Amino acid sequence: MHHELKNELASIQSRRWFLRNCGVGMAGLALNSLLAGEKPINAPANPLAARMPHFAAKAKRVIYIFQAGAPSHLDLFDHKQELIKRDGELPPAELLEGYRAAFINPKSALLGTKFKFNRHGQSGIEISELLPNIAKHVDDLCFIKSMQTDAVNHAPAQIMLSTGHSQFGRPSIGAWTLYGLGNESEDLPGYVVLSSAKGTSGGASNYGCGFLPTIYNGVPFRGKGDPILYLSNPKGYDAQTQRSSLDALKQLNQQTMARISDPETASRIQAYETAYRLQTSAPELMDLGSESQVTLDAYNITDPKESNFARNCLLARRLVERDVRFVQLFHEAWDQHGGLDKALPKNCQDTDQPVAALIQDLKDRDLLKDTLVIWGGEFGRTPMAQGSNGRDHHNRAFTMFLAGGGVKGGHVHGATDDFGFNVTENPVHVHDLNATLLHLLGFDHERLTYRFQGRDFRLTDVHGHVVKDIIA
């Protein structure tokens, strides 16, 4: 027994020496982005192999446009004439019963929107003048005007929307999707993250794998330099040497699997191979040189090398074209506690045209029908003014919209009161939204589970109902 343990220790030490002293280029360094930590897992030989869902799916892939900071539903989607009429007045006392605002005095004066709303499309859905390009696609969009969440500050609310829980440590919806469906791309990660503006207050927890195997973690792609850190080989290290190093490492890992049946090793083998292929596929993906000027103009991209929201929208299309399962865009710029009249139009100017172009591009390429696009932030904004020209956080009611992937186009679900303060029809909690997203991907949210610390966990915890009314 002592002899066997001694041999095993020697084997582990030899593998550590190999990794420490024999450079393996991207596969040895950039893997920190693919495998953020080491945890024991139960996995098949290829933990990222494409898998069938519980039932026929309407959506095969997801583009989640996370407008972090919380866009004002009252100035963009939820037009309230009564609120405009009573601008500057105190809110009704009954409205504030039991209400706690994040920062402002709830008895602050009401603030009606200063922006015009118009009806668009055959559906006649009202959209703010600030979103003229998205407005052209209202008949493709499904608006949920009755969203609710538990958290009232940015970081916990963002994590709540992403993971179904306001505390750190739970898997994100992208990780759950990859865990359930696997990856169809041989050359790219199944879950890619693109950030612009301030990124996200919730940080990496918004795209983390939590207690799921680390292979399901979201992989952030950088806007400048190597898409992933250490993507390029070090000077003097050629492709043949790298391939030989990886082959030797793979052999060592396979020997370990055969000897001690460590299932985590399967994840590592797959990750190293994906990392190796990324050296070619990732730079090609990020290079927009193959895109026409017409396409660049449609997305409002003036400099193809500039990292911004518009470029990320085009990259999202390029990613799903290459069979990436889940693409998440984070754009935190919507936290208008003041200066709403100038900041909100600027945010819309930066995001409106690229989002509209993305929807149209997906339609033109016959991808929208099985690609689910989600647009929204972590909560809404108050009908009461913060200062003279701002809005505070508001978790009782806000708006999100979806497109493609099996949802009804030109449809509005839910409603709020005359002030956009409380939900009055068909409330949709974050848990309900997540249950519905999984349903569109072919999963029963109560059956997609992972056993951790003696309990079967799921994205929706012990909550959530599928919102059947929005499904086509």
| pLDDT, mean of residues 273-289 | 78
Contact between 376 and 400 (Cβ < 8 Å): yes
CA angle 455/205/367 to nearest 5° reads 95
Structure confidence at residue 222 (pLDDT): 83
- Greater confidence, 287 or 19? 287
Please give the Cα distance from 181 to 326 (Å, whole number). Answer: 10
Number of other CB atoms surrounding residue 40 within 10 Å:
10
- The answer to whether residue 38 scores a pLDDT higher than 90 is no
Mean pLDDT confidence for 379-389: 96
| β-bridge mates for residue 64, sequence order | 328, 374
User: Distance (Å, rounded) from C-alpha 426 to C-alpha 416?
Assistant: 9
Please check the confidence at residue 359 and state whether its pLDDT lies above 80.
yes
Give the tokens for residue 274.
């994906």
When pLDDT is cut at 50, 70 and 90, the band that residue 73 belongs to is very high
What average pLDDT score do residues 374-385 get?
98
Structural element, H or E, at residue 161: helix 154-163
CB 62 within 8 A of CB 193: no
Place of tokens 């969440």: 149
Q: How confident is the model at residue 23 (pLDDT cuts 50, 70, 90)?
A: very low
E-state strands within 377-453: 380-385, 391-394, 398-403, 411-413, 415-416, 423-425, 428-429, 450-452
Q: Is the separation of the CB atoms in 376 and 437 below 8 Å?
A: no
Q: What are the pLDDT digits (tens) for 298-336?
A: 999 999 999 999 999 999 999 999 999 999 999 999 999
Question: Which residues 6+ apart lie within 8 Å of 231 measured at CB?
Answer: 26, 30, 278, 279, 282, 283
How far apart are the C-alpha atoms of 402 and 469, rounded to whole Å? 13
Q: CA-CA distances (angstroms) from residue 224 to 111, 194, 195? A: 41, 12, 12
Query: Can you give the pLDDT at residue 241?
Result: 66
Would you state the pLDDT for residue 233?
A: 61
Give per-residue burial for 318-348: e unless 16+ CB within 10 Å, then b: bbbebbbbbbbbbbbbbbbbeebeebbbebb
How far from chain centre, in Å, is Cα 337?
24
In this predicted structure, the answer to whether residue 248 has a pLDDT above a threshold of 80 is no
Distance between CA 410 and CA 388 in Å, rounded? 35
Percent of the chain with pLDDT over 70: 81
Q: What pLDDT was estimated at residue 27?
A: 42
Confidence band (pLDDT; 50, 70, 90) for 25?
very low
DSSP 162-173: HHSSSSTTSPPH
pLDDT digits (tens, 9 = 90+) for 431-453: 999 999 999 999 999 999 999 99
The answer for 454, left when phi > 0, alpha when psi is -120 to 50, beta otherwise, is: left
Regarding predicted confidence, which is higher, 251 or 374? 374
Mean pLDDT calculated for residue range 365-376: 98
pTM, whole model, 2 decimals? Answer: 0.86
State the amino acid at position 212 in one-letter form.
L
Q: Rg (Cα) of the chain, in Å, rounded?
A: 24
Contact criterion met (CB below 8 Å) for 391 and 72: yes
Q: How far is residue 25's CA from residue 146's CA, in Å, rounded to a whole number?
A: 49
**CA pair distance 436, 432, nearest whole angstrom:** 6
pLDDT at 39: 39
Superfamily of domain 41-223+307-470: Alkaline Phosphatase, subunit A (3.40.720.10)
Confidence of residue 270 (pLDDT cuts 50, 70, 90): low
Is pLDDT of 141 > 60? Answer: yes
For 194-237, write each residue's pLDDT tens digit.
999 998 899 999 999 999 988 899 999 987 767 776 556 666 66
Mean pLDDT of the chain: 88
Distance CA 9, CA 30 (A): 26
Return the closest-CA partner of residue 349 out of 334, 335, 362. 334
Q: Is the pLDDT of residue 282 over 90?
A: no
Domain range list for the chain: 41-223+307-470
327 Rama sector, left if φ>0, alpha if ψ -120 to 50, beta otherwise: beta
Q: Residue 421: its pLDDT value, please?
A: 98
* SS3 of residue 382 by DSSP: strand
pLDDT at 48 over 90: no
